[in-house]
Amino acid sequence: MGLSKAVGYAIAKKRFGMKGNVIVIIGNGELQEGQCWEAFLSAVSFKLDNLYVIIDDNKVQTDRLTKDIVQYGQLLIALKNMGFAVMETDGQSVSEINKSLKSLKRIKNKPKLFWSQTIKGQRVSFMEHPTVLRNKVDRYLWHNKAPNREQLGIALNEIINRNIKILNQLGFQWDLTSSLSNIPITPMQTNIKGDNLIVGLRESLVEAGEKYRNIVVLNADLEEDCGFVQFHQKFTKRFFEMGIMEQNLVSATAALSRMGYLPVFSSYAAFLTSRANEQLYNLASEGAKALIIGNMAGILPATPGKSHSGFRDIACIKNIPGIFMYQPINQDDTKNILRRYFRNELGRLLYLRLSMIPSAVELSTPDKNIKKGFPQILRRGKDILIIGIGPVILGECMLAADKLAKKGIEVEIWNYPWITDFDRKTILKISERGIPLLIVEDHYMKGGFGESLLAFLSEKGIKFIKIRHLALKDFPKTGFRQEALQYYGLNQDSLIRTISNLLR
């Protein structure tokens, strides 16, 4: 999105007579997104000679070399023919960068494009991609991974020692012991007993691929995170790497479905459900059959920040007719629901809301034939009912219930994996017990699971003596697991306080 924002700044400056230039740095991988090309066309059309586009061509995307994912061809020639003033240089040389930018500055009535040839992880020995990507099967480790304390010390020393002369001339002083003092010692997650749902997905896809020869998998440059590596290795011909192009991926899926194939596709829920929402709508309207996987759904992990948090995916999906949703809570649950889908028991389009983060505790597996609209009762209790979704939330609810049981408070906990489909008789029956209801979810309050349940209760005239709804009320924050859950009031201690207040 940065390129389009830069175009907006440059347009305003040029149209309203403001001085100064606009500089935007973008990666070679993100050029696959269509929005970049809309911005390129706009920049040329407005003759934005105050715009400098610096493309960091480091040859590598999330997992692999860019050339192994999408072929760009003679891209520089294409951009020059489009109307850009183009310069290409060695991005490892400051003097060459300076020289190229000065040359571009003299050109009028054309936006400037500076193509910088670099190395991913440049000048940090263990991060440079030629060191990491030695073999075809290797994947780049450092795109979304932070170094530990020892690795960071090595990196900082290499950077400082390489520049020590100029740093001394500038009077720059440093103390690496201070720089390394705030590195977390403990892992982001501790005492986690739940299992990894991605493993369940990975194994299910390989199993299904052996049984159903029409299954094809489409990937958006997230092969390892989305659990596609094993399927790719075993069924190479049926695996398609589409690159960072979610809209294109979904529409291509529609064609494969029409041809008799059964497409499975995935990306982070935050990207897939919003960026390709129109394409998902058309996929549904055309009668296609496909398994849609929204990976990294919910607010955890919270370390990547709000751009990657799938905290509004339910809202994006539930307004599309013909798609129903399911959120598994463990590996076996994931396997069971996929087996049912591939047996044609769950309709044409299934949105699998998949958490990358496991539950803090082991959660029992729902019945393998759990009926659509019915809950799984995780725990019986007589004082209050909690209805929630997903392994992270339900794990915290179970921990809270354990502590409250020691105080004589018995909490009943329901997992409602169908998210937007509910059974009237089941919910009416428990409402007649006269206990409060607490709805908990890791989604934005508007448009999520809780809103769907509350609308259902209203429509069906089902009443509880008290109802409380816990969900996000603002943008997500960045942090580790317990930090984030505590901030949102979704950790076990916050739940205990909320339950205690409800019972008062």
String of DSSP letters for 382-442 = SSEEEEE-SHHHHHHHHHHHHHHHTTT--EEEEE-TTSS---HHHHHHHHTT---EEEEEE
Give the up-direction half-sphere exposure of residue 146: CA atoms within 13 A in the CB hemisphere: 9
The low-confidence residues of the chain, meaning pLDDT below 70, are: 184-188
| Cβ burial, residue 380 (10 Å; 0-12/13-18/19+) | exposed
pLDDT tens-digit series, residues 114-159:
999 999 999 999 999 999 999 887 888 898 888 888 899 999 999 9
Contact 341, 207 (CB under 8 A): no
Nearest Cα neighbor of 392 from 196, 226, 186 is 196
Contact 49, 209 (CB under 8 A): no
Based on C-alpha coordinates, what's the Rg of the chain? 26
Two tokens at 372? 């659509």
Nearest Cα neighbor of 360 from 332, 401, 327, 326 is 401
Q: What angle do CA 34, 35, 39 make, to 5 degrees?
A: 120
pLDDT score, position 384 = 98
Spell out the domain ranges in the chain: 2-117, 376-503
CATH superfamily for 2-117 is Thiamin diphosphate (ThDP)-binding fold, Pyr/PP domains (3.40.50.970)
Q: Tell me if domain 2-117 and domain 376-503 are identical in fold.
A: yes
pLDDT tens-digit series, residues 293-311:
999 999 999 988 899 999 9
d(CA 400, CA 302): 22
368 Cβ neighbours under 8 A, 6+ residues apart: 336, 339, 340
Nearest Cα neighbor of 25 from 60, 64, 53, 66 is 53
Beta-bridge partner residues of 57: 117
d(CA 238, CA 194): 32
Two tokens at 482? 């317990």
Nearest Cα neighbor of 145 from 132, 159, 160 is 132
d(CA 293, CA 289): 13
Nearest Cα neighbor of 155 from 119, 186, 128, 117 is 128
pLDDT score, position 202 = 97
Two tokens at 189? 């997650």
Written as one letter, the residue type at 53 is V
190-208: burial string, b at 16+ Cβ within 10 Å, e else: eebebbbbbebbbbbbbeb
For 59, other C-beta atoms within 10 Å of its C-beta total 18
d(CA 111, CA 43): 6
d(CA 39, CA 280): 24
CATH code: domain 376-503 is 3.40.50.920
pLDDT score, position 185 = 63
pLDDT score, position 451 = 98
Give the up-direction half-sphere exposure of residue 40: CA atoms within 13 A in the CB hemisphere: 23
Whole-number Cα distances in Å, 226 to 116, 317, 447, 463:
31, 19, 25, 40
Contact 224, 139 (CB under 8 A): yes
Whole-number Cα distances in Å, 312 to 243, 245, 371, 441, 473:
23, 20, 25, 11, 11
Token pair 């066309």: residue = 41
Nearest Cα neighbor of 385 from 334, 449, 430, 447 is 430
pLDDT score, position 184 = 67
| Cβ burial, residue 112 (10 Å; 0-12/13-18/19+) | buried
Q: Kind and range of the H or E element at 412?
A: strand 411-415
Written as one letter, the residue type at 190 is T
Nearest Cα neighbor of 64 from 222, 230, 266 is 222
